[in-house]
Amino acid sequence: MREYLLTLCITAAVTYLLTGPVRKFAIVAGAMPEIRARDVHREPTPRLGGIAMFFGLCAGLLVADHLTNLNAVFSNSNEPRALLSGAALIWLIGVLDDKFEIDALIKLGGQMIAAGVMVVQGLTILWLPVPGVGTFALTQWQGTLLTVALVVITINAVNFVDGLDGLAAGMVCIAAAAFFMYAYRIWYGYGLEAAAPATLFSAILMGMCLGFLPHNIHPARIFMGDSGSMLIGLVLAAGAISITGQIDPDAMNLFSGSERATVHQTVPVYIPLLLPLTIIAVPAADLVLAIVRRTWRGQSPFAADRGHLHHRLLEIGHSHSRAVLIMYFWSALIAFGTLAYSVNSASMWIVLGIAALSAVGLVLLLLPRFRPRAPRWAQRIVPPRYRRRKPALATAECPEAAGTAAGDGAEFAGGAEGADVEPRTPVVAGANGASALGVRGRR
């Protein structure tokens, strides 16, 4: 565990320290697109944050290669090299898109080529655990097509959700944390060395996201761009492919009694990791809804719009910061809920806990329509959004009070939690990120 934590910390440190110089480079290089109709920020913000994340990935792999225990991952498997090759290719395509806005079909082709490069080097799905049947071996073509499809879906799901400051990096970090706990349990709990690469990938991915987040939280100083969103999507997919399609359930028969029992025991995590419907369930749902919505309107599935889940949260009255936290909450609930269920699927308390937290999540979603007001004796100690409004007659008779109330409202609207003041001007994200929401920006 200490070597994984060391790798994570070094990856985060390198990413964090390089993001500042990369921001200056992006400004000099002109990687600051103009504000578009669907964006939520008010000022052009540099992209190319994926450059720092890529070098953080390289640093993490380099350090792990020189550690005593993690060195075996590189000597016994070609998967780290396959990941680095695919990551370098998808990162280069993302950098070109951040600077020159390349066509969506070209990006899709590049994603498929990057996935193919990893398949050629051995990072592919070999078999699937099927409930009630056992292990289903895949042919070479079946494994290749399934691997490429998983990589492309994951990359685009992460890319689609990158619409608010800190949203994509935070959600992927949550997914990587849940994935690390699962892979670490398979590696050290069951003694299956084949899970070691996936454990390493998830630790490095957490470091990349944690190192970039301080620069990307609201108000963001830099966006990761496609160079970052496609990169972390590919790393996430690589970990899922490594552990889902290459660990033979037969190796776990000593712990569960039979192959069929093993498959039943691991299905709650195996199948969701494969498709991937838990660790990135929110981005995947957003991806499907976006494709259906655009196709229904007669548009290209790759045509950008303002109908994503995070945009809808802003429209119903959530502030920028609260919308991001709500998306974090749902991602963590789905990812860690599935992880807990895979550990002990027979426990009713886990199911009840997930149901209770889901109810809390629904309340948070409806919070703008349910605004509790503090009693009069607590008016001075609560935030302005929970204070009772002055009657119109009293405001007219006392202009000073009116000025004070207006000042409070303006101050609140310019902050991260502006939800009560009308009218409110939405401000929207850059190419792949979003920034501020409020009357005043804090750039």
* Residues paired with residue 419 on neighbouring β-strands, in sequence order: none
432 is in an annotated binding site: no
Please tell me what DSSP assigns to residue 131.
T
Give the whole-angstrom CA distance, residue 55 versus residue 206.
14
299, 327, 308: which is closest to 172 by C-alpha? Answer: 327
Question: Three-class SS of residue 321?
Answer: helix
Give the whole-angstrom CA distance, residue 111 versus residue 369.
41
Under 8 Å CB-to-CB from 279, ≥6 apart: which residues?
175, 178, 179, 236, 240, 272, 273, 334, 335, 338
Give the whole-angstrom CA distance, residue 395 versus residue 240.
60
Give the whole-angstrom CA distance, residue 37 versus residue 202.
35
Please report, for the chain, how many H helices and E strands are present, in that order.
17, 2
Give the whole-angstrom CA distance, residue 85 versus residue 79.
10
Q: Degrees (nearest 5) of the Cα angle 353, 359, 362?
A: 145
Q: Is 441 exposed, middle or buried, given 0-12, 13-18 or 19+ CB atoms closer than 10 A?
A: middle
Distances (CA, A) of 419 to 109, 317, 370, 372, 406: 42, 6, 12, 13, 14
Give the whole-angstrom CA distance, residue 363 versus residue 81.
45
Give the whole-angstrom CA distance, residue 416 versus residue 409.
13
What pairing do the DSSP bridges indicate for beta strands 127-130 and 134-137?
Answer: antiparallel
159 is in an annotated binding site: yes
254, 212, 209: which is closest to 232 by C-alpha? Answer: 209
Amino acid identity of 267? Answer: V
Buried b / exposed e across 73-82, counting CB within 10 Å, b at 16+? bbeebebbeb
Annotated binding site for Mg(2+): 159, 226
Binding residues: 159, 226
